[in-house]
Amino acid sequence: MNLRTLAVAAALLASTSHAASLEAPLGAALAHPALRGARVGALVVRASDGAVVFARHPDRPLVPASNLKILTALAALERFGPSHRFTTRVLADAPPGADGSVDWLYLEGGGDPTLSSEQWWRLAADLRRAGLRRVRQGLVLDDGAFDGQRWHGDWGRISARAYHAPVGALAANYGAFAVEVRPGVRAGEAARVDVDPPVPYLRIANRARTGAPGSRTQLRVERSTSGDGELVTVSGSLPLGAEPELFWRSISHPALYAGAVARLQLQALGIEVAGPTRLGPVPPDAQELLAFEGEPLAQVVNRFVKYSNNAVAEMLLKDMGRAATGRPGSWGNGVPAIRTSLERLGVELDGLVLVDGSGLAHRNRVAPRTLASALLVARDSFRVGPELLAVLAVGVGWLLDAVSVAGVVAPTAPWSGAPGPPPAPCAPRPDSSTA
């Protein structure tokens, strides 16, 4: 079905000063030619008492796209609390000997969605402080806290773009890496390619050339699984003297990538890691060297919502499923866990269809009233509200008192407070829907 949809728009007005003036401009914005043929839903309520200020099909369930992250974030805050930290355990076959050596080092993922290269360096530094200097036999990675499904079946064709990062309980850098391409010193030479982080897991095949000055930049960065790593193929050309081009791509195996980043940071701090990296469970007799706590959930939510990070959303969903059932986190147990948390908070869920946590699945359905209800619940909740409301966008101009959730509801002329000509409030998607 080729159906154009504009997923929910909802807002809270902090005061009543502009309420009466919203009907005409918001109505005009939703009647913009860019939305011709689209199914639209919108709801604006007054924060002080929940009174409806503007409504267009507020109970119509629509594809929410990334607006769904509002519900995922609220549910995670309800389930764990803002101060919760996900733990990554590091174990060994025995405590470090007199020379700081162990035979096997085990990394056990705990579903921490924000372990960056910097966080992995901090973990390595903590291990060095605990006396670790050498791993003789190898590194074992345990990602059994989640099931083995890395991509949801409803996401369709999976690309190498960073927003399609796989989901795993042991991860690094949101399942993504950067590729920087620079021109060589002369036309016709190979372009210069760097990958960040610089781990052997990411192997570069550089087929890109330096073009003549003023020529067109035509670059392509692809990645494919190659043995126990990824082959990053860079092709095309960019002109001599051009500025560097930066590309973000996803990896295909979260745990192996995390293991490569961990090994890099251990070695950077003088901890030698010999032997292979392999996947497997932590033996029951392994001894804990470190329980590394990640960032507080309040910070995780802040970064996740502001940057609309799909990988974080799906890891939080599986974290919730695991916490609710005691079984490996999955979409099967994470989706009901989100709904249960929202029900406990009293969010209105009529028409809600949850498939994933990020909004990538086109079968998700959310009505504007559900989002507005979630914002009202957050406003009234001292426990979870401040962390959620703090990350939402604040309108400008005559929407100065609005906390907005979705899209361009009604544009304004810069700083004047007067309505300006409305541009298209949404971007077309490849499938001809709109979000």
Q: What is the pLDDT of residues 329-351, one digit of tens each?
A: 999 999 999 999 999 999 999 99
Q: Between the CA of residue 415 and those of 27, 89, 211, 398, 407, what are the distances in Å?
A: 21, 51, 44, 9, 19
Strands 176-182 and 192-196: antiparallel
| 433 exposure class (CB count in 10 Å sphere: 0-12, 13-18, 19+) | buried
Task: Say which range, 32-46, 85-99, 151-165, 358-372, has the weakest mean pLDDT.
Answer: 32-46
Coil, strand or helix: which one is 284?
Answer: coil
Out of 101, 116, 308, 358, the active site residue is: 308
Out of 66, 250, 252, 358, the active site residue is: 66
- Is 235 a catalytic site residue? no
Task: Measure the CA–CA gap between 145 and 293, rounded to whole angstroms.
Answer: 16
Amino acid 430: pLDDT: 34
Amino acid 39: pLDDT: 86
Amino acid 8: pLDDT: 53
| Confidence category of residue 44, pLDDT binned at 50, 70, 90 | confident
What is the tens place of the pLDDT at every residue in 223-259? 998 888 999 999 999 999 999 999 999 999 999 999 9
pLDDT, average across residues 349-371 = 95
**DSSP strand E in 161-306: where?**
176-182, 192-196, 202-211, 218-226, 229-239, 245-250, 272-273, 277-279, 287-293
Task: Measure the CA–CA gap between 110 and 86, rounded to whole angstroms.
Answer: 6
- pTM, entire model: 0.88
- Is 66 a catalytic site residue? yes
pLDDT, average across residues 158-169 = 93
- Is 117 a catalytic site residue? no
Amino acid 322: pLDDT: 98
Task: Say which range, 6-20, 242-256, 282-296, 363-377, has the weakest mean pLDDT.
Answer: 6-20
Q: Phi and psi of 239, rounded to 5°?
A: -70, 155
What domains can you pick out in the chain, each with its CATH number?
Answer: 5-74+340-404 (3.40.710.10), 87-149+254-297 (3.50.80.20), 175-249 (no CATH)
Task: Measure the CA–CA gap between 290 and 129, rounded to whole angstroms.
Answer: 10
What is the tens place of the pLDDT at every residue in 380-395? 999 998 898 888 765 5
Q: Do 236 and 208 meet the contact criterion of CB atoms below 8 Å apart?
A: yes
Out of 48, 69, 83, 224, the active site residue is: 69
Averaged confidence pLDDT in the chain: 87
Flag whether pLDDT at 399 surpasses 60.
no
